[in-house]
Amino acid sequence: MFVVEHNMDIVRRADWLVDVGPRAGEGGGEVLYSGPVAGLAGVDESVTRPFLFPDGSGAADDGGAHLRGLAGDGGRSTTRRDAAGWLELRDISRHNLRDLDADFPLGVLTAVTGVSGSGKSTLVSQVLAEVVGARLHPEADTTAQAKDDPETAEAEVAAPLSVGPVSGLDQLDRLVKVDQKPIGRTPRSNLATYTGLFDAVRKEFAATDEARARGFGAGRFSFNVAGGRCETCQGEGFVAVELLFLPGSYGPCPECHGSRYNPETLEVTYRGKNVAEVLGMTVNAAAEFLDAVPAAARSLQTLREVGLGYLRLGQPATELSGGEAQRIKLATELQRAQRGHSLYLLDEPTTGLHPADVELLMAQLHRLVDAGNTVIVVEHEMDVVAAADWVIDLGPAGGDAGGKIIAVGTPAAVARSKKSRTAPYLAAVLGG
């Protein structure tokens, strides 16, 4: 059996370990180690090693220490934050949530826990999102929203939402769901266009002497509109190849060879690079190349802070993983001017992330809270739960046997619960 895994509890129980790295993207692709688990302790360049052997002794830890640093700092003080207010929902009914009362602290980081099927996602990603969304955007067409999100539409048809009195909504002015859904469904959408940094790049190209002499505006450097793009592939960089009796395939455009632009556009350069070459840069490389462009530099810095320095600016959205898409959305939020009073909802944000990436993610979530916002995460990773300010544990089991709040309070308080199935695992991480 071969398993691709980031959970150190599973890794340490393997018979054989293959560690790939040392970093991501161009900085990775090497097999750093292949052999029994204990042997990884001697591979200094492995990013996985310190999480598997946190004490440096070469002995795998007890299962609770590989990310204990998150509970200790995670980019912030060990002091737990106090709630700045409360969002209170009464008589919630949907799926296995029946007449449930739930109180969410504002201005802190809250983890919602429980076994699979206990009702976590229903409570946070559906109920809370719909209630707050309806309050902040009452004019929105929920039918249209449901069409855009088939999962939500299906949930509403199968189990209509019923909620009683709600208080505390006046303390919020914005709702943001940071999920792992793609940032675009076609190759036209990419990192640069989604974050908005490509607008700044196009303006810089349009401001060059060569562009002004030719009468090129910023639109000339967009691959989505006619003018500067290659018309053979219409700016996609590839063309569809139809095969008889076989599924169609794609190949590089024979005209632009994947650059997306026509020759005249590519003749204009900024600091010796044309626009296609800039799109081909990694975030790390672009951060240095565009350091004199404030709008682009800010976006690139936040992308690096969430661990995405290896991605290319023009990398199609269809090639991004769910975890990468989620961190791009988070970086886009972080580059905004933080005014506080926003509610961020994340459903299992650590899915598919290496422990090193989880550390970066948590540091950024704490940044959002420190700016006066509220973050609520549905999470199974106990190290993340231990680093939260508040925990709401659902259960006791899944399906009809779930849907109840079993324990609530600080991580230490929930870890002492005798009824919670989460408590023993949380206690192990907290050292209790």
| Residue range 26-45, pLDDT digits in tens | 889 999 999 999 999 999 99
Confidence of residue 142 (pLDDT cuts 50, 70, 90): very low
Classify residue 326: in a domain, yes or no: no
Examine the domain organization and report whether 153 and 219 are in the same domain: no
Classify residue 332: in a domain, yes or no: no
Asked if residues 30 and 17 have their Cβ atoms less than 8 Å apart, the reply is: no
Classify residue 80: in a domain, yes or no: no
Confidence of residue 143 (pLDDT cuts 50, 70, 90): very low
Classify residue 230: in a domain, yes or no: yes
Classify residue 403: in a domain, yes or no: yes
Across 69-83, 354-368, 406-420, the highest mean pLDDT is recorded for: 406-420
- How far apart are the C-alpha atoms of 425 and 260, rounded to whole Å? 51
Examine the domain organization and report whether 98 and 165 are in the same domain: yes
Provide the percentage of residues in the chain whose pLDDT is more than 70.
89
Confidence of residue 65 (pLDDT cuts 50, 70, 90): very low
Identify which of 103, 48, 134, 53 has the alpha carbon closest to the alpha carbon of residue 359.
48
pLDDT at 130 over 70: yes
Mean pLDDT of the chain: 89
Which structural domain, as residue segments, surrounds residue 422?
A: 85-182+338-430
Examine the domain organization and report whether 172 and 198 are in the same domain: no
Q: What is the mean pLDDT of residues 252-277?
A: 96
Specify the pLDDT at position 138. 73
Examine the domain organization and report whether 178 and 195 are in the same domain: no
Whether the link from the prior residue into 22 is cis, omega within 30° of 0, is yes
Examine the domain organization and report whether 198 and 175 are in the same domain: no
- How far apart are the C-alpha atoms of 262 and 87, rounded to whole Å? 54
Q: What is the mean pLDDT of residues 380-391?
A: 96
Q: What is the mean pLDDT of residues 119-146?
A: 79
This prediction has a pTM of 0.86
pLDDT at 242 over 80: no
Domain end position, chosen among 249, 280, 305:
305
Asked if residues 99 and 91 have their Cβ atoms less than 8 Å apart, the reply is: yes
pLDDT at 345 over 60: yes
Rounded to the nearest 5°, which phi and psi values hold at 93?
A: -140, 120
Domain end position, chosen among 34, 65, 96:
65
Examine the domain organization and report whether 114 and 24 are in the same domain: no
| Residue range 48-61, pLDDT digits in tens | 999 999 876 555 55
Confidence of residue 205 (pLDDT cuts 50, 70, 90): very high
Examine the domain organization and report whether 117 and 141 are in the same domain: yes
Rounded to the nearest 5°, which phi and psi values hold at 217?
A: -95, -175
Examine the domain organization and report whether 162 and 253 are in the same domain: no
Q: What is the mean pLDDT of residues 252-274?
A: 96
Examine the domain organization and report whether 199 and 298 are in the same domain: yes
Residue 350 sits in a domain whose CATH number is: 3.40.50.300
Count: domains in the chain: 3
Identify which of 357, 367, 406, 411 has the alpha carbon closest to the alpha carbon of residue 386.
411
Specify the pLDDT at position 341. 92
Examine the domain organization and report whether 288 and 203 are in the same domain: yes
Asked if residues 403 and 97 have their Cβ atoms less than 8 Å apart, the reply is: yes
Specify the pLDDT at position 55. 77
Domain end position, chosen among 65, 96, 114:
65
Count of all residues that appear for the chain in the document: 432
Classify residue 71: in a domain, yes or no: no
Specify the pLDDT at position 149. 54
Specify the pLDDT at position 139. 59
Specify the pLDDT at position 185. 83
Residue 265 sits in a domain whose CATH number is: 1.20.1580.10
Classify residue 267: in a domain, yes or no: yes
Cβ count within 10 A of residue 137: 13
Which of 151-165, 240-254, 404-418 has the weakest average pLDDT? 151-165
Classify residue 317: in a domain, yes or no: no
Provide the percentage of residues in the chain whose pLDDT is more than 90.
75
Examine the domain organization and report whether 201 and 282 are in the same domain: yes
Specify the pLDDT at position 243. 75
Specify the pLDDT at position 399. 95
Q: Give SS3 for 273.
A: strand
